[in-house]
């Protein structure tokens, strides 16, 4: 299986990443460092996670060259209007202590996201961002952005897991040359997903864990995954798919 996928602007993106949602800032630097040491090259954060600074510190302290790391962050809805969007992007670069961001997403389809999208287009053209996309957008909202703007989103990051497969959205995104990316690829350990009898049978038959099965299921559908864990053993296990 390929380790990267080519986005619609030619940029290569790893298919397995490490997410830092709900990881406190004082823990983030350590676990991101462990993820990079394990082999992860995609790190996913957001302004709304309040841990961008620690992510940037981990990247800067790592022995992994910056050009081998694919850094994603997201713009929060309060920064969509007026000239706030461009200021917020500069703020993210400052917090991350980076010269550029590999993928910048609009976090939610709320407020003046048209204005925010045009700010993303502008910073991509300026070289501050290598690729732009969205998160939590419905397919009709993505289609609307494509029709009325110059640059099509490269990625839509949505919740995708075996209990929430999003088949129609995944198929439409792939047909539209937009990469589907799964947050919560293991269902955030809710609704008994780790003891689901179908998943446990598959895991037993393949001598794998249920977590590995869930991640591999998404990867084989062409979906990028960004599992999150603060436990070193699980960080390594999630990468071994």
Catalytic residues: 49
Q: Mind giving me the DSSP string for 132-181? A: EEEES--HHHHHHHHHHSSS--SEEEEE-BTTB--HHHHHHHHHTT-EEE
**Six-digit token pair at 149?**
């703007």
Q: Are 218 and 185 in contact (CB under 8 A)?
A: yes
In order of 1, 48, 160, 189, 223, the CA distances from 4 in angstroms are 9, 26, 19, 26, 11
Q: Is 225 left (phi over 0), alpha (psi -120 to 50) or beta?
A: beta
CA separation for the pair 182, 184 (Å, rounded): 6
């Amino acid at each position: 299986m390929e380790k990267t996928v080519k986005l619609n602007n030619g940029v290569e993106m790893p298919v397995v990443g490490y997410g830092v949602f709900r990881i406190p800032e004082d823990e983030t630097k350590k676990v991101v460092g462990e993820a990079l040491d394990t082999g992860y090259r995609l790190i996913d954060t957001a302004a709304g996670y309040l841990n961008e600074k620690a992510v940037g510190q981990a990247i800067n302290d790592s022995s992994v060259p910056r050009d081998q790391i694919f850094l994603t962050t997201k713009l929060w809805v309060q920064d969509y209007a007026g000239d706030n969007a461009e200021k917020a992007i500069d703020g993210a670069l400052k917090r991350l202590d980076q010269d550029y961001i590999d993928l910048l997403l609009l976090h939610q389809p709320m407020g003046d996201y048209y204005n925010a999208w045009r700010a993303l287009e502008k910073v991509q053209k300026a070289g501050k961002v290598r690729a732009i996309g969205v998160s939590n957008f419905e397919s009709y909202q993505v289609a609307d952005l494509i029709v009325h703007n110059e640059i099509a989103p490269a990625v839509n990051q949505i919740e995708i897991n075996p209990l929430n497969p999003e088949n129609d959205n995944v198929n439409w995104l792939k047909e539209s040359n937009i990469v589907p990316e799964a947050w919560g690829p293991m269902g955030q350990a809710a609704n008994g997903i780790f003891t689901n009898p179908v998943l446990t049978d598959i895991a037993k038959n393949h001598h794998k864990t249920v977590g590995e099965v869930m991640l591999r299921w998404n990867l084989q559908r062409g979906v990028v995954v960004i599992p999150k864990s603060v436990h070193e053993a699980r960080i390594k296990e999630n990468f071994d798919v």
